[in-house]
Structure 1
């Protein structure tokens, strides 16, 4: 199963360089926390590292989906949102304890 960071990197790898710059511009202008100077020469990996470091992995996914929609990359946004939901569903299944049939003595 992919980590949230891997999901983000994979989404940004789908962007052409010009779209990545536009993504970074929106990230910089619409969300406080990442300085413009830090984003200037950032590649996809550095961009993800900065987003996760600044916003946390879950919020970084939400922000990425939002910015992808803004730059007319709706298919990437929906793909990321769906994969994120699957990751969350799998995580919740792992944390819920199964009840064994013989543990109920009713």
Structure 2
């Protein structure tokens, strides 16, 4: 995990104070890092808080937040993000462990996007928010999409990235809301 810390520190050093503040605000909205852990936290304390909350997911969370604050140039430094990380942790590989439920969602992704109705998608989003699978910022980002297919795509991709538990929750909710769609797409 020292490589993760080095990667994060290298990226955080490229953020000015305003951008770092925006990063911390987004991190609070992700929901796993408690606000108290980030109050007056410098870059190193923020990294410690993230490592304690996200473990192996820390680089993916960092990448997503960097893209939200419009620093995709820094997101590309993260291993597995395209151009690769060229800092102290250059040999670090992105850790991604496929899970049964996340793989199931991936296998039905295209059919889900094409088949879910707008009403069921909105019901799904409400239930995902109620269960804490997505947070308010993610809900807002998804609802900002203009087309129903784009909302569905963003929903399934957001949940799949969170792993097996959230993916299982999404499958259960979709089965409850739209059993016909589930039967049709094999969910």
Normalising by the smaller structure, the TM-score range is 0.7 to 0.9
Aligned to 1:93: none
Q: TM-score, normalised by structure 2?
A: 0.43
Instruction: Give the Å deviation of 1:87.
Output: 1.5
Aligned to 1:18: 18
Q: TM-score, normalised by structure 1?
A: 0.73
Cα distance change, pair 3–85 in 1 and its aligned pair in 2 (3 A): closer
Unaligned ranges ≥5, structure 1: 90-106
Instruction: Give the Å deviation of 1:86.
Output: 4.4
Q: Map 1:7-86; keep pairs closer than 5 Å.
A: 7-29=7-29, 31-56=30-55, 58-80=56-78, 81=81, 82-83=84-85, 86=91
Q: Which has the higher contact order (CA 8 A, sep 6+)?
A: 1
1:3-44, Cα deviation, whole Å (9 max, x unpaired): 111001110111000100000000001x22211122120111
Instruction: Give the Å deviation of 1:73.
Output: 0.3
Aligned to 2:93: 88
1:49-77, Cα deviation, whole Å (9 max, x unpaired): 10001110x31110000000000101000
Unaligned ranges ≥5, structure 2: 95-187
